[in-house]
Amino acid sequence: MAGIGSSNYWEDLRKQARQLENELDLKLVSFSKLCTSYSSSRDGRRGETSDTTPLLNNSTQDRMFDTMSVEIEQLLAKLTGVNDKMAEYTNTPGSASLNAALMHTLQRHRDILQDYTHEFHKTKGNFLAIREREDLLGSVRKDIETYKSGSGVNNRRTELFLKEHEHLRNSDRLMDDTISIAMSTKENMTSQRGMLKSIHSRVNTLANRFPTINNLIQRINLRKRRDSLVLGSVIGVCTILLLLYAFH
Protein backbone atom coordinates (compact mmCIF):
# COMPACT_ATOMS: atom_id res chain seq x y z
CA MET A 1 0.00 0.00 0.00
CA ALA A 2 2.91 2.30 0.77
CA GLY A 3 4.32 1.69 -2.71
CA ILE A 4 0.94 2.47 -4.26
CA GLY A 5 0.68 5.66 -2.21
CA SER A 6 4.17 6.71 -3.23
CA SER A 7 3.41 5.99 -6.88
CA ASN A 8 0.26 8.10 -6.70
CA TYR A 9 2.25 10.92 -5.06
CA TRP A 10 4.77 10.84 -7.88
CA GLU A 11 2.04 10.85 -10.52
CA ASP A 12 0.38 13.80 -8.80
CA LEU A 13 3.66 15.69 -8.88
CA ARG A 14 4.07 14.89 -12.59
CA LYS A 15 0.53 16.08 -13.32
CA GLN A 16 1.19 19.32 -11.45
CA ALA A 17 4.47 19.79 -13.33
CA ARG A 18 2.82 19.18 -16.74
CA GLN A 19 -0.05 21.50 -15.89
CA LEU A 20 2.32 24.27 -14.80
CA GLU A 21 4.45 23.72 -17.91
CA ASN A 22 1.40 24.02 -20.16
CA GLU A 23 0.35 27.23 -18.41
CA LEU A 24 3.87 28.59 -18.69
CA ASP A 25 4.02 27.73 -22.38
CA LEU A 26 0.82 29.69 -23.07
CA LYS A 27 1.91 32.58 -20.88
CA LEU A 28 5.31 32.81 -22.55
CA VAL A 29 3.74 32.83 -26.02
CA SER A 30 1.42 35.70 -25.01
CA PHE A 31 4.32 37.42 -23.29
CA SER A 32 6.45 37.23 -26.43
CA LYS A 33 3.58 38.59 -28.56
CA LEU A 34 3.14 41.48 -26.13
CA CYS A 35 6.81 42.42 -26.39
CA THR A 36 6.72 42.15 -30.19
CA SER A 37 3.60 44.31 -30.45
CA TYR A 38 5.16 46.83 -28.07
CA SER A 39 8.19 47.20 -30.34
CA SER A 40 6.05 47.38 -33.50
CA SER A 41 3.70 49.97 -32.05
CA ARG A 42 6.65 52.07 -30.91
CA ASP A 43 8.17 51.95 -34.41
CA GLY A 44 4.82 52.78 -35.99
CA ARG A 45 4.24 55.76 -33.73
CA ARG A 46 7.54 57.43 -34.60
CA GLY A 47 6.05 58.91 -37.76
CA GLU A 48 2.66 59.73 -36.25
CA THR A 49 1.58 63.10 -34.97
CA SER A 50 0.54 63.78 -31.41
CA ASP A 51 -3.17 63.77 -32.27
CA THR A 52 -3.20 60.09 -33.32
CA THR A 53 -4.00 57.57 -30.59
CA PRO A 54 -2.91 53.93 -30.96
CA LEU A 55 -5.33 51.14 -30.05
CA LEU A 56 -3.04 49.95 -27.29
CA ASN A 57 -1.02 52.74 -25.73
CA ASN A 58 2.25 52.46 -23.84
CA SER A 59 0.79 52.66 -20.36
CA THR A 60 -1.60 49.76 -21.06
CA GLN A 61 1.21 47.64 -22.49
CA ASP A 62 3.42 48.47 -19.55
CA ARG A 63 0.72 47.37 -17.10
CA MET A 64 0.15 44.16 -19.06
CA PHE A 65 3.89 43.52 -19.09
CA ASP A 66 4.17 43.94 -15.33
CA THR A 67 1.12 41.75 -14.68
CA MET A 68 2.28 38.96 -16.98
CA SER A 69 5.80 39.11 -15.56
CA VAL A 70 4.47 38.56 -12.04
CA GLU A 71 2.23 35.69 -13.21
CA ILE A 72 5.05 33.96 -15.08
CA GLU A 73 7.42 34.38 -12.11
CA GLN A 74 4.79 32.82 -9.83
CA LEU A 75 4.32 29.88 -12.22
CA LEU A 76 8.10 29.39 -12.44
CA ALA A 77 8.32 29.42 -8.66
CA LYS A 78 5.53 26.84 -8.38
CA LEU A 79 7.16 24.64 -11.02
CA THR A 80 10.49 24.93 -9.21
CA GLY A 81 8.76 23.83 -5.99
CA VAL A 82 7.21 20.82 -7.75
CA ASN A 83 10.59 19.84 -9.21
CA ASP A 84 12.14 20.09 -5.74
CA LYS A 85 9.46 17.78 -4.35
CA MET A 86 10.11 15.36 -7.22
CA ALA A 87 13.84 15.46 -6.40
CA GLU A 88 13.06 14.70 -2.76
CA TYR A 89 10.90 11.77 -3.82
CA THR A 90 13.71 10.25 -5.91
CA ASN A 91 15.87 10.19 -2.76
CA THR A 92 13.36 8.20 -0.69
CA PRO A 93 14.38 4.60 0.10
CA GLY A 94 11.28 3.06 -1.49
CA SER A 95 12.05 4.48 -4.95
CA ALA A 96 15.53 3.04 -5.30
CA SER A 97 14.43 0.38 -7.82
CA LEU A 98 12.87 3.03 -10.06
CA ASN A 99 15.52 5.65 -9.44
CA ALA A 100 16.92 5.67 -13.01
CA ALA A 101 13.51 6.20 -14.62
CA LEU A 102 12.52 8.79 -12.03
CA MET A 103 15.78 10.67 -12.45
CA HIS A 104 15.28 10.72 -16.23
CA THR A 105 11.77 12.12 -15.83
CA LEU A 106 12.96 14.64 -13.24
CA GLN A 107 15.81 15.77 -15.50
CA ARG A 108 13.37 16.29 -18.39
CA HIS A 109 11.16 18.51 -16.19
CA ARG A 110 14.22 20.39 -14.96
CA ASP A 111 15.32 21.02 -18.56
CA ILE A 112 11.86 22.33 -19.42
CA LEU A 113 11.96 24.60 -16.37
CA GLN A 114 15.38 25.86 -17.35
CA ASP A 115 14.27 26.55 -20.93
CA TYR A 116 11.19 28.42 -19.77
CA THR A 117 13.19 30.42 -17.27
CA HIS A 118 15.78 31.32 -19.89
CA GLU A 119 13.10 32.27 -22.42
CA PHE A 120 11.29 34.42 -19.85
CA HIS A 121 14.38 36.34 -18.81
CA LYS A 122 15.46 36.81 -22.43
CA THR A 123 12.06 38.16 -23.52
CA LYS A 124 11.81 40.33 -20.43
CA GLY A 125 15.31 41.72 -20.98
CA ASN A 126 14.51 42.53 -24.63
CA PHE A 127 11.30 44.28 -23.60
CA LEU A 128 13.05 46.37 -20.94
CA ALA A 129 15.83 47.28 -23.38
CA ILE A 130 13.30 48.39 -26.02
CA ARG A 131 11.34 50.41 -23.47
CA GLU A 132 14.47 52.07 -22.13
CA ARG A 133 15.67 52.90 -25.64
CA GLU A 134 12.30 54.26 -26.70
CA ASP A 135 11.95 56.30 -23.51
CA LEU A 136 15.36 57.80 -24.20
CA LEU A 137 14.47 58.54 -27.83
CA GLY A 138 11.13 59.98 -26.73
CA SER A 139 12.90 62.26 -24.29
CA VAL A 140 15.31 63.39 -27.01
CA ARG A 141 12.46 64.03 -29.45
CA LYS A 142 10.60 65.99 -26.78
CA ASP A 143 13.68 68.13 -26.15
CA ILE A 144 14.05 68.72 -29.90
CA GLU A 145 10.38 69.69 -30.25
CA THR A 146 10.68 71.99 -27.24
CA TYR A 147 13.78 73.60 -28.77
CA LYS A 148 12.04 73.98 -32.14
CA SER A 149 8.97 75.47 -30.48
CA GLY A 150 11.14 77.90 -28.52
CA SER A 151 13.06 78.77 -31.67
CA GLY A 152 9.79 79.40 -33.49
CA VAL A 153 8.66 81.78 -30.78
CA ASN A 154 12.02 83.55 -30.85
CA ASN A 155 11.85 83.80 -34.64
CA ARG A 156 8.38 85.32 -34.48
CA ARG A 157 9.53 87.79 -31.86
CA THR A 158 12.55 88.68 -33.94
CA GLU A 159 10.34 89.17 -36.99
CA LEU A 160 8.02 91.47 -35.02
CA PHE A 161 11.00 93.46 -33.74
CA LEU A 162 12.37 93.82 -37.26
CA LYS A 163 8.99 94.99 -38.57
CA GLU A 164 8.69 97.51 -35.75
CA HIS A 165 12.24 98.71 -36.41
CA GLU A 166 11.47 99.13 -40.12
CA HIS A 167 8.29 101.04 -39.27
CA LEU A 168 10.25 103.41 -37.04
CA ARG A 169 12.84 103.93 -39.76
CA ASN A 170 10.11 104.78 -42.27
CA SER A 171 8.55 107.21 -39.79
CA ASP A 172 11.91 108.90 -39.24
CA ARG A 173 12.45 109.15 -43.00
CA LEU A 174 8.99 110.69 -43.47
CA MET A 175 9.64 113.23 -40.70
CA ASP A 176 12.98 114.17 -42.26
CA ASP A 177 11.29 114.70 -45.65
CA THR A 178 8.56 116.84 -44.05
CA ILE A 179 11.11 118.97 -42.23
CA SER A 180 13.11 119.40 -45.44
CA ILE A 181 9.99 120.56 -47.33
CA ALA A 182 9.11 123.01 -44.52
CA MET A 183 12.63 124.45 -44.51
CA SER A 184 12.58 124.84 -48.29
CA THR A 185 9.16 126.57 -48.15
CA LYS A 186 10.41 128.91 -45.45
CA GLU A 187 13.43 129.82 -47.53
CA ASN A 188 11.23 130.51 -50.60
CA MET A 189 8.84 132.67 -48.59
CA THR A 190 11.74 134.62 -47.11
CA SER A 191 13.19 135.14 -50.57
CA GLN A 192 9.81 136.30 -51.97
CA ARG A 193 9.31 138.64 -49.03
CA GLY A 194 12.69 140.20 -49.74
CA MET A 195 11.79 140.61 -53.41
CA LEU A 196 8.45 142.33 -52.55
CA LYS A 197 10.18 144.69 -50.15
CA SER A 198 12.72 145.53 -52.85
CA ILE A 199 9.97 146.20 -55.42
CA HIS A 200 7.98 148.36 -52.98
CA SER A 201 11.10 150.29 -52.12
CA ARG A 202 11.86 150.93 -55.79
CA VAL A 203 8.31 152.09 -56.46
CA ASN A 204 8.49 154.56 -53.57
CA THR A 205 11.83 155.78 -54.82
CA LEU A 206 10.47 156.35 -58.31
CA ALA A 207 7.40 158.15 -56.91
CA ASN A 208 9.58 160.48 -54.83
CA ARG A 209 11.92 161.21 -57.75
CA PHE A 210 9.12 161.87 -60.27
CA PRO A 211 6.17 163.81 -58.74
CA THR A 212 4.28 163.56 -62.02
CA ILE A 213 4.27 159.80 -61.83
CA ASN A 214 3.16 160.03 -58.21
CA ASN A 215 0.26 162.32 -59.16
CA LEU A 216 -0.69 159.97 -61.99
CA ILE A 217 -0.76 157.02 -59.63
CA GLN A 218 -2.92 158.92 -57.16
CA ARG A 219 -5.36 159.91 -59.94
CA ILE A 220 -5.58 156.31 -61.08
CA ASN A 221 -6.34 155.26 -57.53
CA LEU A 222 -9.02 157.93 -57.16
CA ARG A 223 -10.65 156.90 -60.43
CA LYS A 224 -10.65 153.29 -59.28
CA ARG A 225 -12.33 154.22 -56.03
CA ARG A 226 -14.88 156.39 -57.88
CA ASP A 227 -15.67 153.66 -60.36
CA SER A 228 -16.09 151.27 -57.45
CA LEU A 229 -18.53 153.63 -55.75
CA VAL A 230 -20.55 154.13 -58.94
CA LEU A 231 -20.65 150.42 -59.60
CA GLY A 232 -21.70 149.76 -56.01
CA SER A 233 -24.46 152.38 -56.21
CA VAL A 234 -25.82 150.91 -59.45
CA ILE A 235 -25.85 147.42 -57.97
CA GLY A 236 -27.60 148.70 -54.84
CA VAL A 237 -30.30 150.52 -56.79
CA CYS A 238 -30.89 147.51 -59.01
CA THR A 239 -31.18 145.28 -55.97
CA ILE A 240 -33.72 147.61 -54.33
CA LEU A 241 -35.79 147.75 -57.53
CA LEU A 242 -35.78 143.98 -57.82
CA LEU A 243 -36.92 143.60 -54.23
CA LEU A 244 -39.74 146.15 -54.69
CA TYR A 245 -40.84 144.37 -57.84
CA ALA A 246 -40.74 140.99 -56.14
CA PHE A 247 -42.84 142.08 -53.13
CA HIS A 248 -45.43 143.91 -55.29
In a domain, 190, yes or no: no
CATH of the domain at 79: 1.20.58
C-alpha 247: how far from its chain's center? 86
In a domain, 102, yes or no: yes
Tens-digit pLDDT profile for residues 21-70: 999 999 999 988 888 887 666 555 554 444 444 445 567 888 888 899 99
Q: Is the residue at 212 inside a domain?
A: no
Could you tell me if residue 242 is inside a domain?
A: no
Cα dist from 159 to 21, 172, 173, 213, whole Å: 68, 20, 21, 75
Specify if 119 maps to a domain: yes
Domain count within the chain: 1
Query: Is there a domain that residue 109 lies in?
Result: yes
Domain span at residue 22 reads 2-40+56-142
Q: Check: CB of residue 66 under 8 Å from CB of residue 89.
A: no
Under DSSP, the state recorded for 92 is: S
Distances (CA, A) of 183 to 5, 36, 195, 197: 127, 84, 18, 21
Contacts of 3 (CB under 8 A, 6+ apart): 94
Q: What is the dihedral of CA 179, 185, 191, 197, to 10 degrees?
A: -120
Question: Which of the residue ranges 79-83, 93-97, 135-139, 218-222 would you say has the lowest mean pLDDT?
Answer: 93-97
Q: How many helices (H) and strands (E) does the chain have?
A: 4, 0
Find the angle CA(37)-CA(27)-CA(114) to the nearest 5 degrees: 110
Overall size of the chain counted in residues: 248
- pLDDT computed for residue 43 by the predictor: 53
Of the candidate ranges 150-154, 180-184, 198-202, 244-248, the one whose mean pLDDT is the lowest = 150-154
pLDDT score for 35: 80
Longest dimension (CA), the chain: 175
Within-domain flag for 188: no
Distance CA 59, CA 56 (A): 8
Q: So what's the pLDDT on residue 244?
A: 81
The answer to whether position 186 is within a domain reads: no
Question: Is the model's pLDDT at 118 over the cut of 90?
Answer: yes
Whether the pTM exceeds 0.85: the reply is: no
